[in-house]
Amino acid sequence: MSAESVNPAAVAAIRALVEDWAEAIRAKDVERVMAHHAPDSVSFDLAPPLISTGATPSGVEAWFATWRGRLGYEIRELSVTAGGDAAFCRSLNRLSGTTIEGEKSEIWFRRTVCFRRMAGAWKIVHEHESVPFYMDGSYRAAVDLTP
Amino acid sequence: MTMTATDATVEIQGLIENWAKAARTCDIDGIMAAYAPDIRAFDAISQLQFKGAEAWRRHWQACLEMGSGPTIFEVHDLLIEAGDGVAYGRFLLRCGGIGPDGKEQIGWMRVTVGCRRRGGRWTIAHEHSSAPFDMASGKALLELQP
């Protein structure tokens, strides 16, 4: 990595943010999740729609309510690229848990997050989560892949 | 030379426009010119990730060979935010081709790119393309409209 576009302090701050966000997901702590998002953040999610704007506490709360107890959230191959005011990271993540219907669920997916430094603090301005799909004619979402 | 965020935004916009134009004309070298050698790509199809320009080029080549006839590859709603040497962009991609029946076969994808400026030039160091999927049927949703 060349020094011209990577700021070690910013990289460390983003890594800490990503870990705190993941712990908030595991603990289903809505306020702690929301604290990391810019109000106008835009996301490309696993489920439709194509694009959604502005994560809301009620939306996060409703999603948490579909799961029993704590969630499992693992982050692998995290890579952070950060300058003074803009940054992005990518990783392969595993979400696991038990749905309210009592079904055990687990999925590996790709996550890319973009950040902007606002009033001295890094905030999530964009996130993209997905699984690829199979081009074998089935267009099946590849929810069975592992890193 | 210092570069303002606006200069960077214009440069990255040009990079993405040239990349899309190369995709429309099936120009593999033009496509690859946009990428950093250590590109890490999360593509919409086939596997979780592609590591490095060589693997990514092979995948692109295979994708170009899948299609026949005119290629549709349009960038919509592009937003770029650039800092000093690091930037990101996101857009919606309308892509596909014209089928043997003369009808458009297209889908909408979401694309996020992470860019770095190295050696005085911006390149795409990370790309993530996808379509959402229907949780009930487990199928990718390619017909969603923005």
Query: Across residues A84-89, what is the average pLDDT?
Result: 94
In angstroms, the Cα distances linking B16 to A35, A135, B20, B127 are 32, 25, 6, 12
CB contact under 8 A, A114 and B141: no
Interface of B to A at Cβ within 8 Å reads: 40, 42-49, 66, 81-88, 90, 92, 108, 110, 112, 114, 116-118, 125-126, 128, 130-135, 138-142, 144-146
CA angle A124, A127, A129 (to 5 degrees): 150
Query: Across residues B5-23, what is the average pLDDT?
Result: 94
Tell me whether residue A16 is in a domain: yes
Q: Does A131 touch chain B (CB under 8 A)?
A: yes
d(CA B44, CA A103): 27
pLDDT > 90? residue B97: no
Kindly state the tokens that stand for A30. 């809505």
User: Which of B128, B131, B134 shows the shortest C-beta gap to A112?
Assistant: B128
The domain segmentation of chain B, as residue ranges, is: 5-130
Tell me whether residue A117 is in a domain: yes
Residues in chain B closer than 8 A to A133 (CB atoms): 44-45, 131, 133, 139-140
Kindly state the tokens that stand for B9. 């935004």
Tell me whether residue A28 is in a domain: yes
Tell me whether residue A139 is in a domain: no
Tell me whether residue A86 is in a domain: yes
Closest residue in A to B136 (Cα) is A47
CB contact under 8 A, B117 and A4: yes
pLDDT at A3: 38
Alpha carbon of A9: minimum distance to chain B alpha carbons (Å)? 14
CATH number for the domain running over B5-130: 3.10.450.50
Which among A44, A124, A129 is the top mutation candidate for probing chain B, defined by the most B β-carbons within 10 Å of its own β-carbon? A44
pTM for the model: 0.95
Residue A121 structural domain: 3-130
Instruction: Provide ipTM, 2 decimals.
Output: 0.94
Residues in chain B closer than 8 A to A8 (CB atoms): none
Tell me whether residue A136 is in a domain: no
Task: Outline where DSSP puts E strands in chain A.
Answer: 37-44, 52-53, 67-82, 86-99, 104-118, 121-130
Query: Across residues B90-118, what is the average pLDDT?
Result: 92
User: Which of A49, A139, A141 shows the shortest C-beta gap to B144?
Assistant: A49
Q: How many domains would you assign to chain A?
A: 1
Over residues A97-107, the pLDDT tens digits come to 999 999 999 99
d(CA B19, CA B35): 9
pLDDT > 80? residue A147: yes
Query: Across residues A14-35, what is the average pLDDT?
Result: 97
Tell me whether residue A48 is in a domain: yes
Kindly state the tokens that stand for A69. 């107890």
Over residues B48-73, the pLDDT tens digits come to 999 999 999 999 999 998 876 678 99
CB contact under 8 A, B138 and A140: yes
Query: Across residues B98-111, what is the average pLDDT?
Result: 88
pLDDT at A4: 38
Amino acid at B51: K
Residues 6+ apart with CB under 8 A from B58: none
Residues in chain B closer than 8 A to A126 (CB atoms): 88, 90, 112
Over residues A88-138, the pLDDT tens digits come to 999 999 999 999 999 999 999 999 999 999 999 999 999 999 999 998 989
Which CATH number belongs to the domain containing residue A66 in this structure?
3.10.450.50
d(CA A94, CA A14): 19
pLDDT > 70? residue B2: no
Over residues A26-47, the pLDDT tens digits come to 999 999 999 999 999 999 999 9
d(CA B80, CA B41): 18
Tell me whether residue A138 is in a domain: no
